Amino acid sequence: MTITESLAILRAAQDLPNPFQIQLACSFTPLHLKTLLAAHQQQRMPQRRAIVVEGVFGDLIGSIASASNPAAIAVVIEWQDLDPRLRYREGAAWGRTLAADLIDTARMMLGRIEQAIGQLPPHVAVAVSLPTLPLVPIFHPSTWQAGQLELLLERELSDFASRVAGRKLLNVVNRRWLDEHSPASNRFDLKSDLLIGFPYTIAHADQLADVLALNLAPRQPLKGVITDLDNTFWNGLVGEIGTDAVRWDPASRYYLHGLYQKLLAALADEGILVGIASKNDPNVVGEALKRNDLLCAQEKIFPVEVHWSPKSESVGRILKAWNIGADAVAFIDDTPLELAEVAAAHPGITCLQFPVGDYQGVWNLLRNLRDLCGKPRLSEEDALRLESIRRGAEFQQQAESGAAQSDDFLKTIDAVLTFDFETAATSARTLELINKTNQFNLNGVRLTEADWQQKLVQPGAFVLGVKYEDKFGALGTIAAVQGRQNVNRLEISAWVMSCRAFSRRIEHQTLKRLFDRFGVDRIEFKFAPTAKNGPTQEFFGTMLGHLPDNDFGIDRAQFESVCPALYHRVEEISGVTLNG
Amino acid sequence: MDEIRTRLIKCFETVFPDLPAEQIPNASQSSVANWDSIAAITLINVIEEEFQITMDLEMAGELDSFPKILEYLKTTAVNA
C-alpha cells in the first residue's frame, strides 16, 4: 500500500460511524506508520471508521500508560526502547562502556513496558511488535556473527514476549512472518531517521502496519475444511488400485498427502470441522478409512459424503450437517473442474487445489490452510465442537425420523439447560458467540471488547450464558443474552443462539427464565432484521403475530400464550435445580 | 508541463482534502493551516509516488508552496 492509497482509503472512510480507536505507542515519529496502520485497519473493518492516535512524543512507556481508553493499542518496540544508546540519533558514545550494562538496562526497560501493558484495561486489544530494525553496529563481532551480547538481548526480548503473550487479548507480531514479507535489508532508512525521526522505509512501514492490524483485529478463522480423497487425502484412485495401495506414508514419495492428513488432524483437534466429499464407491472408501495407519483418523472426520453425485451436493449436505455457511469453509480437491463446480454452487466458499506431486505447492497449501484456520487461542468449545456436531446430526436424524420437534421425542432426550448469570460476562465464549452467530441473532450487531465492557458497566446490566446437554452429548455454551433491568422492565440488546441448538425449545426456556428471574411482565428487545436472522424473526413472529422489523416488546401473557411445553431440566451455574 | 501541474494538484488534493480546489495553485505553508511538518513529509512522499521520483527530504523546508514545488518538478525532478 502506498501513502497515496492509504490517504485515499482514510478519506473515503471519514464519514463512517462508530469509530474504532487505536493508540499507536512508539518512541519515534509515527509519521507514515500511523497513516498506514489506520488504512490497513480500515480495510479490515469497512463498517467502522478506524482512527489511529499517537501517544506521548518519543515516550513508548508514557504512550501506553496515558492511553485514554482506546479500543486497541499497537506497541511498536525498537532497539532504542531497550536502551536509548541503541539509537542512531542518540549522542552517547558506543564502545565497551555501553556493553557493560546493556543487558541490565534492556531487562529493566522491558520490565517497565510489561508493567505498563499489565495496567491497561483488560478489554483493550494489544498488538506488540518486537524490534524489526538491524541493530546499530556497536558489538565487536562482524555483522554476520551473532555475538554473545546480541544473543543475550534476544533472550531478554524472547522472555518478555512470552510473558506478555499470556495476557488475554494480546498478540505478538511474528517476526518470522515479517522477515518473509519485509526483507531485513530494506527496512531501515538512516536519512529519514536522522532528519525527521522516522526510521522505517515506507515499504517496511506498510508491512509492519499490515501485520499490526492483523494482530489487533484477527480475521475470523474458517470453521471447516471439506476434502477430496483420491490424489488429495491420499495418493492414487482407491476404486482402481484398492484400499491397500493408496499411499501417504513417510517412507514413500507420497508423503505430501501424509503431511496434509497431519495438518487436517491438527485442525480437527483445534475445533476446525473436517469433512469428506468424494466421488467413489462408499464401500471401498469405508474400508480404506479403517486403515490404522491413517495420519488423520476417521473419528476426526464428519460427515463423510461418498457417492457418485456432484460434489456440490456433498458440500451442501456437509454444510447443512455443520449448520454453517459456505463462506466459513474451505474445499480442497486436486481437480480444477470439481473446484469450479463447487465454487459455482456455493458462493463464498474458499476453493483450494491440492497440487499433486508439487512439494513447494503443498507447502504453500499447508501454510495457507493454517493461516485461514488459525486462532489466537483455543477454547473449551473448540474441543467439544466435532462431538457436538456429530451428536447434533444424530439429534436431527431422530427428530426428523418421527414428528420433528414432537413432544414425545423431546421428553425422552434428558435435556439439561444451565443458565449462567455469574461468569458469562467475563467468558470469551460469550462475546465470540455474539460476534459469530447469524441466524438466531437479535440484531446482528458485532461488538469489540471495548463495546462489550461499556455495555456491562451500565446500571442494571447483566449477561446470561446458556449451556445445553442432552443424552446425545454436551453442546457447551450455545446462547448468550445481554441486557439491563430498568425498574420493572427488561431491555435486551443482544441475544444470540448457535444454530447447532435449534429445534430444542431452548429459546422458549430462555425467555421464560428471563421473565421469572427478573420478575418482570414485559421485555423490550433491540431488534433489527438482517439478511440471515430469519429464524429469530420467525420466533418472535409467533408472539407478535407478524415478523418484527424494528425494536419491540413482549408481554409475559403474549409469551405464555404461545409457549410450547418445555421438558428441560433447568439449573443455574451453581448446580441448583430450579425446576424440572 | 500542464500535465505536471495537474498531477501536482492531485497530490495536494490527496494530502489536503479540505483545501478548496481554487486555492491549491497558490497554496503555501503559511496559508494552509494543516501544512505542518508531518504534512510536508507526507506531501513529499505522495509526490514521489505520483511522479516515481526520489526527492530529497532536506528540501522539505524549501519546498513550502505549490508554485515552488511545481517549479522544482519542472526544472529538476521530472525532466532530470
Confidence of residue A575 (pLDDT cuts 50, 70, 90): very low
Q: Which domains does chain A possess?
A: 3-216 (3.40.50.1110), 224-373 (3.40.50.1000), 397-579 (3.40.630.30)
Chain segment B27-44, per-residue pLDDT in tens: 998 888 888 888 888 999
Note the pLDDT tens digit of each residue in A371-387. 999 987 777 777 676 67
Tell me whether A53 touches chain B (CB under 8 Å).
no
Quote the crossing angle between the two packed helices A96-118 and A148-164, to the nearest 10°: 0
pLDDT, position A580? 39
* B53–chain A nearest CA distance, Å: 14
Contact of A191 with chain B, judged by CB distance below 8 Å, is answered with yes
Residue-level pLDDT at A140? 81
What integer pLDDT is reported at residue A578 of this predicted model?
43
Among candidates A202, A182, A178, A183, which has minimal Cα distance to A192?
A202
Say what the pLDDT of residue A189 is. Answer: 92
Q: DSSP secondary structure string, A314-332?
A: HHHHHHHHHT--GGGEEEE
Mean pLDDT, rounded, of chain A: 88
Our CA-based measurement puts residue A34 at a distance from the nearest CA of chain B, in whole angstroms, of: 11
CA distance B31 to B21: 14
Q: Nearest Cβ partner of A195 from B15, B42, B57?
A: B57
pLDDT bucket at A446, cuts 50 / 70 / 90: confident
Tell me the average pLDDT across A448-454.
Answer: 75
| pLDDT tens string A522-560 | 999 999 999 888 889 999 999 999 999 999 999 999 999
Tell me the chain B residues in contact with residue A196 when contact means C-beta distances shorter than 8 Å: 37, 41, 57
pLDDT at A86: 87
Quickly state the pLDDT bin for A91 (edges 50, 70, 90).
Answer: low
Interatomic CA distance for residues A449 and A169, integer angstroms: 9
Q: Which of B14, B41, B58 sits opposite A4 (nearest CB)?
A: B14
Q: How many contacts (CB atoms, under 8 Å) link A and B? A: 33
Q: Is the pLDDT of residue A577 over 70?
A: no
Looking at residue B7, its pLDDT comes to 93
Residue bearing the bigger pLDDT, A329 or A400: A329
Q: What is the DSSP string of A199-229?
A: -B-HHHHHHHHHHHHHHHSPPPPP-EEEE--
A35 to chain B, any CB pair closer than 8 A? The answer is: yes
Mutation target among A196, A200, A204 for the B interface, most CBs of B within 10 A: A196
Kindly report the nearest CA distance between residue A70 and chain B, in angstroms. 23
- Tens of pLDDT, residue by residue over A320-340, are 888 888 999 999 999 999 999
pLDDT digits (tens, 9 = 90+) for A339-349: 999 999 999 99
**A193 to chain B: closest CA residue:** B57
pLDDT for A114 = 95
Helix runs in A94-189, H state only: 96-118, 148-164, 175-181
- CA-nearest residue of chain B to A191? B57
State the pLDDT at residue A271: 87
Whether B38 sits inside 8 A of A2 (CB atoms) is no
pLDDT under 50: residue ranges of chain B: 80
Q: Do B37 and A196 touch (CB under 8 A)?
A: yes
Confidence of residue A414 (pLDDT cuts 50, 70, 90): confident
How much is the pLDDT for A78? 95
Q: For residue A440, what are the β-bridge partners?
A: A497
Contact at 8 Å (CB) between A13 and A51?
A: no
Contact yes or no for A513/A570 (Cβ under 8 A): yes
Question: What fold characterizes domain B2-77?
Answer: 1.10.1200
Of A8, A31, A32, the CB nearest to B14: A8
User: How far, in whole angstroms, is CA A137 from its chain's centroid?
Assistant: 41
* Terminal Cα-to-Cα distance of chain A (whole angstroms): 60
Nearest CA-CA distance, residue A27 and chain B, Å:
16
- pLDDT band, residue A27 (cuts 50/70/90): very high
Is A14 exposed, middle or buried (CB count within 10 Å of its CB: 0-12, 13-18, 19+)?
exposed
Backbone dihedral region for residue A494 (phi beyond 0: left; psi -120 to 50: alpha; all else: beta): beta
Contact A284, A239 (CB under 8 A): yes
| Distance, CA of B47 to CA of A21 (rounded, Å) | 29
